[in-house]
Chains A and B, each alone.
Chain A
Amino acid sequence: MPTSAFGKIVDAQVSRRSVLAAMGVGSLAAALAACSGPATGDNLKNNQKTDVDWANVVPAKEITWWSNHPGSSKEIEEGLIAKFTAETGIAVKLVTAGANYDEVAQRFQAASGTDSLPDLVIASDVWWFRYFLNGQIMPLDSVFDYLKADTADFNTTLFNDYEFEGSHYAAPYARSTPLFYYNKDVFKKAGLPDRGPAMWAEFEEWAPKLAAVLPSDGAPLGMGVGTSWSAWWMSNIMWGRGASWSKDWTVTLDTPEAIEAGEWVRALYNDNKFASIGNDTQADFAAGFFGCFLGSTGSLKGILDAANFEVGAAFLPDGPVGPGVPTGGTGLAIPSSRSPEQQLAAAQFLAFLTNAENTAEFSKGTGYMPVRSSAMTGETMTKLYQEIPLYKTAVEQLETKTRTQDWVRVFVPSGDQILTEGIEQIILKNTPAKDAFAAITPRLEQAYKENVEPYL
């Protein structure tokens, strides 16, 4: 019968067609599910709060930690993880999520809204607030209370750096300040005392003597540029001259003090040639091209290992108005979108990492500052101060010279990047500070208006 043959064909066609249709719909659905963008609307407020009853939560058995191993600390981190797992049975997967804070942050931003987020993540001084604004990290106060993590023992400055409206969104981990490192051999050759300059003015007196004993393509002082870095040490020079990047949210780069500070830096590099940069300023210091250089306390161990001369460390010099040293480095935060089980396990691990014993351990291996008051005076550190007195310099500087950073650098998304551009204009292009600062001010204001104001 023709109909039967025909019917067969019809059947086949229908089924094929439905298969094709299913294929098409399936791929479309998969495509739509793969990535969904942000919701658009007026409600941009970040009103994230957790009121989890932690007592009823069973901690997860495995968590993931994204780190850049600050201060080449991978082995130390692995050692701490092994200790934690032995104690609690919770496994921690350590992921190298970037070579520096910025790279980890970029990866974290890119992964947000997916389920491939870590349970614990590096949150540096210039990045944690952006995570907070985006509702990406949870306040730690309630879970730390439940775990009895004794947050009162944290160094107050270091813990309160992560505070906004009464809640803390990260815990201090690899915290640092800039430090003035000097080459003792070079200082001796130049006939200088074995200490850092107390004031920048004193350094200016010393600089010609240093230049005389250094290679011609070197410089008395190495101060590198780049994001997450130059606006950090520049804070010291600004504050020392009574200037600041901003007062609260208002950019204050048009003040005479700020312009004077910028001009002083411009002259330091371009007129007097007292300072210079390298592709890797720290490596160039270790290779003997600089008499001294500004580095992070977190580089302490690395510098001591790399240099084949005796290294000295001192406080950052004061300006004419007084001292001013920024704190920096990174804390650790817990993503808000993880399950309470993951969050509790992560918080346990975070409390463990930052307890008195382990923060001292971490400090010893890297040069970062211990984050607890009890650790700073504890047995490990006291012994270390005797062995390598340089470690004490960093801690003393923290206690006597530091102040909280200006908001426009640490709280405005891309604030640090924009400030860095202004500083690089001054240093690399010899642009007058007034022009360089005037060029970046509207961009800072725009970044605030776009990315902070609507979320507060």
Chain B
Amino acid sequence: MTAPTTTEPITSYTSAPQPETAGTAGSAGIAGASGLSQGGTPGRPTGDQPRTATRKAQQFDVRKWKQYLTFLALAGPNLALLLVFTYKPLLESFKFSTLQWNIGSPSARFVGLQNYVEFFTSPKTATVMLNTAVFTIATVGGALVLGLALALLLNRKLKGRGIARTVAFAPYVLSGIAVGILWLYIFDPRYGLLGTALGWFGITSPDWYNSSPWALIMVIIVYLWKNLGYVALIYLAGLQAVPQDIYDAASLDGASKSRVLRSITLPLLGPTTFFLTITTLLSSLQSFDLIHAMTQGGPLGSTTTLMYQIYQESFVNGRAGYASAAATVLFLILLVVTVVQLKYVEKKVHY
């Protein structure tokens, strides 16, 4: 895997939210559309105008039109899919959140904002929010720190580096359910590998599945193991994009290794870190498969994150309306987190 191909998505991602780019693309589309409606109005007294001006206007219209059509042909299918599979369910979910609906039932009762009131007054919500916060901060923070360390390690010119990189990345492509089930065996306090290993140091394995906070710690460990490779890979690409001459200059100046890391590597990895923060944060907040495979939210809700609660309330407890209300809350959290990151954090990133 080479550096340029992997850095590409980063740059394109970070440049997309910049207002200029988005603005021009959008206004081109709108201008094209408005141009069309003016030029295309039948019965407009065009014959009176000078011929050259008409032709120019026509050419202009055609060009805009073509742009618009190209835009539509390229972006249209994607937009249509987003519309059907993302925005429509989103709107429907808002609607469902005002219902008291036993999922599967053909009828439901309108209850207004009662689901939201209940969500914010339920004693369960505090636990769920705390779990979500702990899980998200631990997995995002842990993945960034450990992923960077791994990337620095893999960036060294060592023999077998290619194999090491592949091995480190491999867990990321495995199915979450399979990973979860495999790790359950490792964590088993009675005959698990981990219990045996801890036994060598005279430590008794905690009952990972049935006691809090161990169950949450267990899920975090496995999540980190699974996603570390991804973070390391992106960081590795970022590291290889740092120009060698800056390092050379630093070594001429006699900078220490830690100084180089602090003053050159980390700042220049800013865009990469920014990209990783957003993507890992979003995937952590929406993580489902490992929790489902390993703890199913238990014991006693101690690994139930907001995402998992939505699943449980809707499909296990049948309270589709309440679950939709929780889904709306999750959506708002994701929206706020992303907007804040794009608006404030991005400004601090060094490009």
- Could you list which residues of chain A lie within 8 angstroms of chain B, going by C-beta atoms? 2-3, 5-6, 9-10, 13-14, 16-17, 20, 23, 27, 30-32, 34-35, 37-44, 102, 106, 108-110, 112-113, 130-131, 133-136, 217-218, 225-227, 277-279, 284, 287, 289, 413-414, 417, 421, 424-425, 428-429, 447, 450-451, 454-455
Contact = CB atoms under 8 A, between A and B. Distances in A.
A425 B300 contact: yes
B300 A429 contact: yes
Q: Which one of B76, B100, B105, B188 has the highest number of Cβ atoms from chain A below 10 Å of its Cβ?
A: B105
Contacts of B11: none
Report whether over half of chain A's contact residues are helix, strand or loop; otherwise say mixed: helix
A211 B80 CA distance: 65
B318 interface: yes
Contacts of A20: 72
A216 to B, nearest CB: 10
Contacts of A112: 103-106
B254 to A, nearest CB: 56
Interface of B: 36, 39-40, 42, 46-47, 51, 54, 58, 61-62, 65, 69, 72, 76, 80, 83-84, 88-89, 92, 95-96, 99-110, 184, 188-191, 209-211, 298-301, 315-319
A217 B188 CA distance: 12
B195 to A, nearest CB: 9
Contact of A13 (B40, B109, B110, B299): B40
Contacts of B110: 40
Contacts of B184: 279
A413 B95 contact: no
A39 B110 CA distance: 10
A108 B40 contact: no
B190 A289 contact: yes
Q: Which one of A102, A109, A112, A284 has the highest number of Cβ atoms from chain B below 10 Å of its Cβ?
A: A109
A424 B299 contact: yes
B102 A40 contact: no
Contact of B209 (A2, A10, A279, A289): A279
A23 B103 contact: no
A424 B211 CA distance: 11
Given A135-B106, A454-B109, A38 B101 contact: yes
B318 A130 contact: yes
Nearest to B118: A446
A14 B61 CA distance: 14
B113 to A, nearest CB: 15
B190 A284 contact: yes
A10 B62 CA distance: 11
Contacts of B301: 421
B317 A40 contact: no
Contact of A109 (B39, B100, B103): B103
B190 A417 contact: no
A40 B299 contact: no
A40 B188 CA distance: 48
Contact of A134 (B36, B92, B104): B104
A227 B61 CA distance: 65
Contacts of B210: 225, 277, 428
A42 B47 CA distance: 63
A134 B190 contact: no
Contacts of B95: 37
Nearest to A131: B104
Nearest to A112: B104
B58 A133 contact: no
B107 A40 contact: yes
Given A108-B104, A217-B189, A413-B102, A3 B92 contact: no
Contacts of A289: 190
Task: Return the 5 tightest CB-CB contacts between A and B, nearest first.
Answer: A109-B104, A414-B317, A38-B108, A134-B105, A106-B315
